[in-house]
Structure 1
Amino acid sequence: MSIKSGTGRRWGYAVAVWGVLFAIPSFLWAAGSTFGARSTVAPELVRLAQERVPWFLAVLWVTGFLKLLGAAIGLGLTRPRSPRLGRSLVFCGGGAAVLLIWHGGLFVLHGILVETGVAAVDPALAGLTRWYLYLWGPWFLAGGLAFAAATAHHLQSGGRRFAAAGALGALLLSAAATATGIG
């Protein structure tokens, strides 16, 4: 696999740092703290965390570990790997890039629509819209762009189809979650 010196590795390390930093709130909230959640996350989610609803705590723990897995994938994208592992990393990196860019883009687009008056939200949630526009949306976009760059630098000419398959799978998963009201 061809990884450009320095630059390609930096993107993988950026993914790793992003993943670890993003996992911290999940673990804090799963452990019982609502630090940072009350003003930046939907009240219903805060309520689920405060009431220690078991299935929601499980979701928080799982998402925290998935974010750490993303960090590990970022580290894996910093160096050439065996062809099988390299294809898996590229598949996951391409999927993560699309999923995060899509998700962050939806947050930003929704926030812009609300801020410009094109869309309306419950007045009690208006302040949250700004958090999603200025914090969560850009945070997801930054992670997605870092995954995209790390994956692109890791690719060799034969690996593009694995990145494309991961990206398409992530897009279909996200579209299905949005259509069913889950995401």
Structure 2
Amino acid sequence: MFAVPSFVWATGVTFGAQSTVSPSLVKLAREGVPWFLTALVVTGFLKLLGALVGIGLTRPRRSRISRLMVFCGGGAATLLTWHGGLFVVHGVLVEAGAVSVESDLAGLTGWYLYLWGPWFIMGGLAFAGATVLYLAKRDDRRRLRLYGAVGALGALVLSLASTATGIG
């Protein structure tokens, strides 16, 4: 379900986005900017992959698949929690008056503070919990923790890089 808006918005239909997403992003979708539509489609597929990883973390697997599940679970937990945390911290700073935003973005602050941020944080915590439970059922959990740590660190570096470049 979480992937559906990405695919719908990639078609240029921005239903539900006008009041909950940055106007500049809505404009890119409406105008059919190729790189942005590609980003939406890739994001949709990553969300579907995340669903498969979430399901995979509920099933026992062989060693090679286990490493991949723990790597992706650690990465997803970190990326989602970090992303949601940024939304919440920024929203709190805006609401407190410590940071100002452009007038066309002011109405979106509540959406990011009270909906999107907590939603991403809950998703990240769900992945973290699923990964921990997956590891608890494994005899080789000590070795697998390394894969989770590498996935988490990779996700954090990816997020920081995308934020620094203005993409994320």
TM-score, normalised by the number of residues in structure 2: 0.93
Aligned residue pair count: 163
1:157 aligns with 2:142: yes
Question: Retained in 1: the 8 A contact 2:12–2:31?
Answer: no
Counterpart CA distance in 1 for 2:147 and 2:153 is 10
Q: What does residue 61 of structure 1 align with? A: 41
Q: What does residue 46 of structure 1 align with? A: 26
Counterpart CA distance in 1 for 2:95 and 2:124 is 24
Q: What does residue 119 of structure 1 align with? A: 99
Which residues of 2 match residues 16-165 of structure 1 at below 5 A?
A: 21-155=1-135, 156-165=141-150
- Gaps spanning 5+ residues in structure 1: where? 1-20
Of 156, 161, 168, which residue of structure 1 is paired with 2:153? 168
Higher RCO (C-alpha under 8 Å, 6+ residues apart): 1
Counterpart CA distance in 2 for 1:83 and 1:75 is 17
Counterpart CA distance in 1 for 2:150 and 2:42 is 24
1:157 shift after superposition: 3.0
Counterpart CA distance in 1 for 2:99 and 2:33 is 32
Counterpart CA distance in 1 for 2:23 and 2:153 is 32
Counterpart residue type for residue 82 of structure 1? R
Counterpart CA distance in 2 for 1:125 and 1:158 is 45
Question: Retained in 1: the 8 A contact 2:53–2:69?
Answer: yes
1:102 shift after superposition: 0.5
TM-score, normalised by the number of residues in structure 1: 0.86
Deviations 1:92-125 (A, max 9, x none): 1101100110010000000000001111111221
Counterpart CA distance in 2 for 1:171 and 1:43 is 27
Q: Where is the helix percentage greater, Structure 1 or Structure 2? A: 1
Question: Retained in 1: the 8 A contact 2:23–2:104?
Answer: no
Q: What does residue 138 of structure 2 align with? A: none
Q: What does residue 182 of structure 1 align with? A: 167
Deviations 1:126-171 (A, max 9, x none): 1111111111111111111111011111112321111011001111
CA RMSD of aligned residues (A): 1.0
1:31 shift after superposition: 2.2
Counterpart CA distance in 2 for 1:55 and 1:175 is 20
Counterpart CA distance in 1 for 2:38 and 2:101 is 29
